[in-house]
Chain A
Amino acid sequence: MTTAYIYDSLRTPRGKGKKDGSLYEITPVSLAAQVLESVRDRNGLAADTVDDVVFGCCSTVGEQAAVITRMAILSAGYGDVTSGLQLNRFCGSGLEAVNVAASKVITGEADVTIGGGVESMSRVPMGSDGGGGSVDPAVAMDMYFVPQGISADLLATKYGYTRNDVDAYATESQKRAATAWADGRFDKSVVPVRDVMGEVVLSKDEMVRADTSVTALSELKPSFTQMGRQAGFDGVAIQKYPEIEAIEHVHHAGNSSAIVDGAAAVLIGNKAFGAQMGLKPRAKIRAMASIGSEPTMMLTGPEFVTNRVLERCGMTKDDIDLWELNEAFSSVVLRFIEAIDIDHASINVNGGAIAMGHPLGATGAMIVGTAIDELERSGKGTALVTICVGAGMGVATVIERI
């Protein structure tokens, strides 16, 4: 097997995923093309160097449908020879895309690949691609389908995370993200997004709120109470978890990942590629894994995929210096910290999606970059990147700084 090295990673800043967001006017093809241009140009790659590009994308309808990756490749001015693959593993798409891109190098199918992802949630709203899981009675009823927010509240209820616990976590995430930005820790990775005239429309994450406090968050109304009680979802969750009498609805906009637009790219290649191009690898892929987990609780996949991926590379949690877990909801991270038994100080040290946002198809690739930057900044060795996924799945990647 060939070793897959990460030569570079970069991302767009994350823009508010609504009509008043800065990236609303940028097409998702353009978002994807801009990160592809940047990764090519700043590494001095020729147009035909890259064999394959794998991008995650979650809501694959309209302008995000029909292999957006290939459209972005062509739009970015890559050579005709570079192929494009679009994949969907819900929120895990971006990380899965990095893993698939790495696999192509590891198996020798390709010498150079790019893994990444794109999502314009302002233009292609979450859920607009339909799907059987939530609306086909033959599927949804048998799998005790509940929307993700209900799962997040179920998770909090099951493990006893109070409203104060989840708000405190969210406040800390905002604080860490603000500090990281102030400290310039994202400078290496964030490339500004430009409009059709070539002007910069966004150069920093748009959603970070440094001034958040637990007191301020405590004012917000829980988002999923009505849906849970009136649409029957609480009842469905309780049927699956009959030890629970009532779901405590603790999540709201302030302690859940923000809805944003963005794209990311991770340049991966074998050793020969680096030598040939005179590029120094920044990290190498140690192990990768994906698993399925109980779909009603939905969000506990990171725990199980972490155990799997550590087993695969013969490591224990103590071998991991830095943890990166997508902050889909506060309870997801709180449960992970408890289940794996790690220190809050070692995970999501520069904040996460609660502060900066979660562009569904891109996030996984973004947090790979965040981990590499932080390993380099702190001089640490090994990071584990993981993400929870809709319908009960988990994806994880272990990387080692070089």
Chain B
Amino acid sequence: MCYKNIKVEIDDDGIALVVMDIPGKSMNVLDADLLSDLRLFADKFATDDNIRGAVIASGKPSGFLAGADLKGFSSLKDASRKEIFTSVMEINQLYRAFETSGYTSKELVNSEKFAKPIATAITGHALGGGLELALATHYRVCSDNQQIKLGLPEVQIGLIPGGGGTQRLPRITGLQTAAMMMTEGRPISPDKAKEYGFIDHVAPEGAVIDAAKEWVRNTPHATQPWDRKGFRYPGGGGAMDPRAIQFFMPAIALTRHHTKGNYPAAQAIMSCLYEGSILDFDTALKIEAKYFTKIFTNIVSKNMIRTLFTSREAAQKDRVRPVGVQSKVVSRVGVLGAGMMGAGIAYVTAKAGVDVVLLDRDIATAVRGKTYSEKIVEKAVGRGILRQSKADALLERITPTTEYSDLSDVDLIIEAVFENTQIKADVTRRAEDVTADNVVFASNTSTLPISELAKASVRPEKFIGIHFFSPVDKMPLIEIICGEKTDDKTKTMALDYAAMIGKIPIIAKDVRGFYTNRCVPSYLNEAMLMVKEGVSPTLLENAALGIGMPVAPLALLDEMSLSLIDQVNETTKSDLGDDYEPSEAEDVVACMVRLGRLGRKSKAGFYDYLEEGRKRLWSEINKYFPLAEKQPSLADVEGRLLYAQLVPAAVCLDEGVVLDPQSADLGAVFGWGFPSWMGGPMSYVDMIGVEAFVKKADEFADAYGPRFAPPISFRERAASSTPVYTCS
């Protein structure tokens, strides 16, 4: 037998060890070649009497099997639903062949035939299709390395499990656990999986295959629970079991509550669980494959795969990295300013294994900046997801100081001081005084043009913008902004640093606000304009949440604090002088500031903050901004909130503030929480069609003001029916 992607060794006990190891790839993915090898083996396994059992393992240190090959899957993009269904069923038939030795369910249930035992030895991540393969074996052993991730994360890119995951998992763990794992998509550790029951045994690293073999050796025949007579769902299942009804009613409501009905995959997973629990196993697999096909061909999954997987991966690899330029590997970073942002930057940098000098004016502040990291690792250790030794090492890397001289041997300085040109100029000079000529100086400014700030630098070619988002450890995006004089080496170092700390970089042009801070204020201003017009704040907030914004605009303004918004407005006004274009929304900010309703920190803003963390919209806002007698439709409010993001994003693409639609979408989704089901502003425009976008934007411009007018290049696209993404 000649396999290319698996190695098969049969030992003296007749146990076949199947090691998946795709040549030339760092990770096993379920592609057509691996499938065909596994198919060959499955047939041999069923028919060869010399093989009495098998263990499936991986030859890759990176993981067991990462699931279906999404890139390969994209070749199915233009396939008909029937063809996709057929492909998915082929995987199901293969998996089924492993657990049944090729017999029918009826033969097994009636004990006419017996399946050979087959186990999996999991020594690395088993996700999606990888975990599904493991679930289709009779016994699962996992290494005790708690960093190993086990899960069915398909929902996170808008898909559902398609290899039996929605059927096998609930038949092992019960509906509730399976629903949680699949609708949230969060992977879990081996110990947790053992607790849930879908890992049978956790063995020390190095002893996993032996443990799996041991089980096979001692097991003459094996049958999956669902191929046994009288199988019942653990914890109840089906349409009539009161326990299942008690589960489904709230679970469905919670799914709608959380997804707002925008994510069809979550609903499809629930449907697979519900319908599958009524049916026999083989029909249930078919239903799952049909839902998979339906979801896979849905535009939402296409949007999500493009931005959350394809564009993200490309940005994190080399798409925007200058060709042929090498930069020094960052091994020591100076962070100036130990406030909220500086502390966060210090944490993510130390976490990536890089030493950090955390500098502030007084030592107490600098130390407090390090405390931020201490709190995070303490929590992680407490939850068992970080070893104490690793936590200690991380904290060891952060040195709080007040001395600029401590910066002498850093490779990169990141400035995160107060958003004021003078203060920034001052720290730039002081840092450059003590550092070598090749040290890169990055500003974490969120709005100020880099070329302006670089004027304070004696080496502007080494000056760059690295804009982090708050909270730094949670927000995955950074904007990288080159000034007029920034050289390619500097840019490369910034990009390499982004890769080290695992952030998604987008390159933004050096204009005030860069990309994200040109779009976000537009959205927040639109919300405040509606308040001013007398739109019900409740309707406004619910409309934003309804389209999928993670936080409603007035709530977000309260979190950011209205005094901060007021300050930014004032700074911009004084920086721009006559060029400043005031927004009508400033009146709303001014009014709130005058009333001392600054947001959450003053326990009063657009919301009143009650006990137990509850909040209610400020009931007296009507006194200042009376409710309009006739309220707009929900669709109108949603549209304004959405187009207030789409139009500036289109303008930024038009003006080259972002290089391409991918960056525009990544920046929106990962930078300010633009709804991921839409894939980002540009994916959304393509989804509805550029013509429809231009038409709607024009309607809004007529009704509400020229801020909604679409840029010229989009009119041209509309006229020639050219999508924003010319190749997706």
Q: Which residues of A contact B (CB under 8 A)?
A: 127-128, 130, 132, 134-138, 140-142, 144-147, 227, 230-233, 235-236, 238-239, 242-246
Contact A245 B616 (CB under 8 A): yes
> Is B253 touching A233 in the complex (CB atoms < 8 A)?
yes
* B164-175 vs A, Cβ < 8 Å mask (1 yes, 0 no): 000000000000
Q: Which residue of A lies closest to B278 (CB)?
A: A136
- Min Cβ gap B537→A in Å is 8
Cα A49 to Cα B657 with chains together (Å): 87
Q: Is the CB of B271 within 8 A of A135?
A: no
Provide the residues of chain A in CB contact with B617, threshold 8 Å: 245
Please give me the 4 A-B residue pairs with the lowest Cβ-Cβ distance, nearest first: A231-B250, A235-B257, A242-B542, A232-B257
- Which residue from B252, B539, B634 sits with its C-beta under 8 Å from A137? B252
Q: How far is the CB of B412 from chain A (nearest CB, A)?
A: 45
Please pick, from B253, B616, B634, the residue contacting A232 in the complex, using a CB distance under 8 A: B253
B61: Cβ under 8 A from any A Cβ:
no
Known: A141-B256, A147-B249. A238 touches B270 (CB 8 A): no
Chain B residues in 8 Å Cβ range of A127: 245
What are some 10 contacts across the A-B interface (CB < 8 A)?
A: A134-B252, A136-B271, A137-B252, A138-B267, A146-B253, A231-B253, A231-B254, A236-B256, A239-B257, A243-B631
For chain B, give the interface size range: 20 to 34
- Given A134-B252, A140-B252, list of 13 further CB < 8 A pairs? A135-B245, A135-B249, A136-B275, A137-B273, A138-B267, A141-B256, A232-B253, A233-B250, A233-B253, A233-B257, A242-B634, A243-B631, A246-B616
Residues on B with C-beta less than 8 A from A246 are 616
Please measure, in the bound complex, the distance between the C-alpha atom of A50 and the C-alpha atom of B655, giving whole angstroms: 83
A127 and B245 CA atoms in complex are apart in Å by 9
Q: Does B543 contact A (CB under 8 A)?
A: yes
Q: How distant is B270 from chain A, measured CB to nearest CB, in Å?
A: 4
Q: What per-residue 1/0 map shows which CB atoms of B541-556 lie under 8 Å from chain A?
A: 1110010000000000
Inside 8 A of B271's CB, which chain A residues have their CB?
136-138
B242 within 8 A of A: yes
Q: Determine how close the nearest CB of chain B comes to the CB of A12; give it in whole angstroms.
A: 28
How distant is the Cα of A135 from the Cα of B472 in the complex, in angstroms? 41
Q: CB-defined interface of B499-543 with A at 8 Å, one 1/0 digit per residue? A: 000000000000000000000000000000000000010110111
Q: State whether A130 touches B256 (Cβ < 8 A).
A: no
Q: Is there contact, CB below 8 Å, between B270 and A137?
A: yes
In the assembled complex, B258 has its CB within 8 A of some CB on chain A = yes
Provide the B447-488 mask, 1 if CB < 8 A to any CB of A, else 0.
000000000000000000000000000000000000000000
Kindly provide the distance from the CB of A85 to the nearest chain B CB, expressed in whole angstroms.
Answer: 24
> Would you call B256 and A235 a contact (CB within 8 A)?
yes
Query: Closest Cβ of chain A: how far from B522's Cβ, in Å?
Result: 22
Taking the complex as formed, is B221 at the interface, i.e. its CB lies under 8 A from any CB of chain A?
no
A128: chain B residues at CB < 8 Å are 242
Asked if residues B274 and A135 are in contact (CB atoms below 8 Å), the reply is: yes
CB of A83, distance to nearest CB on chain B (Å) = 29
The smallest C-beta distance from A197 to any residue of chain B, in angstroms, reads 34
The listed residue (B245, B257, B538, B541) touching A236 by CB distance below 8 A is B257
Which chain B residues lie closer than 8 Å to A132 at the CB level? Answer: 239
B240 within 8 A of A: yes
Nearest chain A CB to B243 CB, angstrom units: 12
B86 within 8 A of A: no
Which residue among B244, B261, B542 has the maximum number of chain A CB atoms within 10 Å of its CB?
B542
The residue on A at minimum CB distance from B638 is A242
The smallest C-beta distance from B117 to any residue of chain A, in angstroms, reads 36
Distance, CA A33 to CA B631, complexed state (A): 55
Taking the closest CB of chain B, its distance from the CB of A129, in whole angstroms, is 8
B250 touches A232 (CB 8 A): yes
- Complex contact B244–A232 (CB within 8 A): no
From known contacts A135-B244, A137-B271, A138-B271, infer whether A239 and B546 are also in contact, taking CB-CB under 8 Å.
yes
Q: Are B538 and A136 in contact (CB under 8 A)?
A: no
- Nearest CB in chain A: distance from B166 CB, A: 12
Contact bitstring B264-306, A, C-beta under 8 A = 1, else 0: 0001001101110000000000000000000000000000000
Bound-state Cα–Cα, A236 to B267, Å: 14
Within 8 A of A (CB), among B433-452: none
Residues of A within 8 A of B541 (CB): 245
Chain B residues within an 8 Å CB radius of A136: 239, 248, 271, 274-275
Cα(A146)–Cα(B253), bound, Å? 8
Inter-chain contact A243/B539, CB cutoff 8 Å: yes
Residues of the B chain whose Cβ atoms lie less than 8 Å from the Cβ of A239: 256-257, 260-261, 542, 546
* Residues of A close to B249: CB separation below 8 A: 134-135, 140, 145, 147, 231
B255 within 8 A of A: yes
> Please, what's the 1-or-0 string for B11-53, where 1 marks a CB less than 8 Å from any CB in chain A?
0000000000000000000000000000000000000000000
Select one of B239, B267, B270, B543 contacting A130, CB under 8 A.
Answer: B239
Give the CA-CA distance A86 to B539 in the complex, in Å: 44
Q: What distance in Å separates the Cβ of B358 from its nearest Cβ neighbour in chain A?
A: 41
Whether the pair B245, A232 counts as a contact (CB closer than 8 A) is no
Shortest Cβ gap from A170 to chain B (Å)? 27
Contact B248 A137 (CB under 8 A): yes
B616 touches A145 (CB 8 A): no
Of the listed residues A137, A138, A142, the one surrounded by the most CB atoms of chain B closer than 10 A to its CB is A137
Nearest chain B residue, comparing its CB with the CB of A128: B242
Q: By the criterion CB–CB under 8 Å, are B257 and A135 in contact?
A: no
Using Cβ atoms and an 8 Å threshold, which residues of chain B touch A138? 267, 271
Residues on A with C-beta less than 8 A from B542 are 238-239, 242-243, 245
Known: A232-B257, A232-B258. A135 touches B252 (CB 8 A): yes
List of B residues within 8 angstroms of A243 by Cβ: 536, 538-539, 542, 631
CA distance A117 to B260 in the complex (A): 39
Q: Mark B190-229, 1 if CB is under 8 A from A, else 0.
A: 0000000000000000000000000000000000000000
**Contact indicator B239/A137 (Cβ below 8 Å):** no
Whether A232 pairs with B254 at a CB distance below 8 angstroms is yes
A147 partner residues in chain B, CB cutoff 8 A: 249
Question: Please, which residues of chain A bring their CB within 8 A of the CB of B254?
Answer: 231-232
A141 B245 Cβ-Cβ under 8 A: no
Question: Which residues of chain A are near B239, meaning CB under 8 Å?
Answer: 130, 132, 135-136
Q: How many Å from the CB of A202 to the closest CB on chain B?
A: 28
- Docked Cα-Cα span, A227 to B616, in Å, equals 20
CA distance A245 to B252 in the complex (A): 21
Smallest CB gap from B614: residue in A: A246
B residues less than 8 Å from A230 (CB atoms): 250
Inter-chain contacts of B275 with A (CB < 8 A): 136
Question: Are A141 and B248 interface neighbours, CB within 8 A?
Answer: no
Q: How far is the CA of A293 from the CA of B463 in the complex (A)?
A: 64
A145 and B260 form a contact (CB under 8 A): no
User: Shortest beta-carbon distance, B548 to chain A, in Å?
Assistant: 12
Bound: A245/B616 CA distance, A: 8
Q: How far is the CA of A35 from the CA of B380 in the complex (A)?
A: 68
Residues in A whose Cβ lies below 8 Å from that of B242: 128
Complex: chain A residue closest to B541, CB-CB: A245
Query: Chain A residue with minimal CB distance to B269?
Result: A137
- Return the chain B residue nearest A137 by Cβ: B270
* B-chain residues with CB within 8 Å of residue A244 when the two chains form the complex: 538
Q: How far is the CB of A368 from chain B (nearest CB, A)?
A: 33
Whole-angstrom distance from the CB of A66 to the nearest CB of chain B? 15
Tell me, in angstroms, the Cα distance from A30 to B274 when the chains sit together. 36
Q: How far is the CA of A244 from the CA of B634 in the complex (A)?
A: 12
* Smallest beta-carbon distance B170→chain A, Å: 14
**Which of B248, B257, B270, B538 is close to A242, meaning CB atoms less than 8 Å apart?**
B538
In Å, the complex CA distance between A140 and B239 comes to 13
Distance of A130 Cα from B239 Cα, bound (Å)? 7
Chain B residues closer than 8 Å to A134, beta-carbon distance: 245, 248-249, 252
Smallest CB separation, B160 vs chain A (Å): 12
Q: Are the C-beta atoms of B274 and A144 separated by less than 8 Å?
A: no
Cα distance, A238 to B631, chains bound together (Å): 17
Task: State which residues 676-706 of B face A: CB under 8 Å.
Answer: none
B257 engages A141 (CB within 8 Å): no
Whether B253 pairs with A236 at a CB distance below 8 angstroms is yes
Q: How far apart sit A43 and B543, CA to CA, in the bound complex (Å)?
A: 61
CA A132 to CA B278, docked complex, whole Å: 12
Q: In whole angstroms, how far apart are the Cα atoms of A328 and B216 in the complex? A: 61
